[in-house]
């Protein structure tokens, strides 16, 4: 048994994935919502970086919408070097190497595992070869700056396109199977 590990990020045409709330505007339509519903319907564990966990743990526990009903009860594995001990919000600190933690997690019972961010967490787990599928929702916008998922110095990695769709909001949702070609 091996559970699927997925990651999904929102991106601009020039590859920026940082702070999508600043450039997504109103470009989140029914197709994006349907895809999110399909994906989160299979997830039982979330791997999340400390900064995003801190931001979300302040907002989502008091919210009541479809995403809150998903994220609040799901088990969260927090990648951090600064937090320790018991965490709230159905969360635990990842001990040791995050890639080893995900490898062990994928061999346990459960549904799929979603790497929700931040950028460094997604990048490091992708480069460690533990992400099975990467989905990018590319918005038809160019932004003047911001962090990209992959910068110069990342080794050449071949991905296989699994599916793509254009949405009524003008976005392209592309899902890739991940495999390294060295």
With a cut of 50, say whether residue 112 has pLDDT above it.
Answer: yes
Residues whose CB falls within 8 Å of the CB of residue 139, separated by 6 or more in sequence, listed in order = 10, 11, 12, 13, 20, 23, 24, 27, 170, 171
Strand ranges, E, within the chain: 5-11, 43-49, 75-79, 91-93, 112-117, 133-138, 159-166, 172-178
Whole-number Å distance between alpha carbons of 40 and 113: 9
Residue 180 has pLDDT above 50, yes or no: no
Q: How many CB atoms lie within 10 A of CB 125?
A: 21
The two tokens of residue 78 are 């927090």
Q: Answer whether 147's CB lies under 8 Å from 52's CB.
A: no
Q: Is the dihedral of CA 139, 177, 156, 99 positive or negative?
A: positive
Average pLDDT over every residue of 140-152: 90
- pLDDT tens for residues 62-111? 999 888 999 999 999 999 999 988 899 999 999 899 999 999 999 999 99
Under 8 Å CB-to-CB from 80, ≥6 apart: which residues?
Answer: 49, 50, 53, 93, 94
pLDDT of residue 1: 62
Intra-chain end-to-end CA distance of the chain, in Å: 26
DSSP 43-90: EEEEEEEHHHHHHHHHHGGG--SHHHHHHTTSEEEEE-SS--S--SSS
- In this prediction, residue 182 has a pLDDT band, given cuts at 50, 70 and 90, of very low
Would you say 75 and 48 are in contact if contact means Cβ atoms under 8 Å apart? no
Could you read off the pLDDT of 17-61 as tens digits, one per residue? 999 988 887 777 778 878 777 778 899 999 999 999 999 999 999
pLDDT score, position 117: 83
Distance CA 72, CA 175 (A): 26
Look at residue 179 in the predicted model and tell me its pLDDT.
65
| C-alpha to C-alpha distance for 66 and 7, rounded to whole angstroms | 19
Asked if CATH classification 3.40.430.10 holds for the domain at 5-178, the reply, yes or no, is yes
């Amino acid at each position: 048994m091996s559970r699927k590990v997925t990651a999904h990020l929102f991106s601009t045409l020039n590859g920026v994935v940082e702070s999508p709330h600043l450039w997504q505007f109103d470009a989140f339509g029914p197709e994006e919502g349907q895809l999110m519903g399909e994906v989160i319907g299979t997830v039982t564990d979330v791997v999340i970086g400390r900064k995003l966990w801190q931001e979300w743990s302040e907002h989502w526990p008091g919210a009541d919408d479809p995403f809150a009903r998903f994220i609040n009860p799901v088990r969260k594995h927090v990648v951090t070097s600064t937090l320790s001990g018991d965490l709230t919000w159905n969360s635990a600190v990842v001990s040791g190497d995050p890639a080893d933690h995900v490898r062990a997690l994928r061999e346990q019972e459960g549904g799929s595992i979603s790497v929700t961010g931040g950028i460094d967490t997604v990048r490091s787990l992708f480069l460690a070869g533990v992400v099975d599928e990467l989905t990018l929702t590319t918005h038809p916008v160019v932004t003047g700056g911001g962090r990209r998922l992959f910068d110069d110095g990342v080794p050449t990695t071949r991905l296989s396109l699994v599916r793509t769709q254009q949405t009524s909001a003008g976005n392209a949702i592309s899902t890739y199977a991940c495999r390294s070609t060295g």
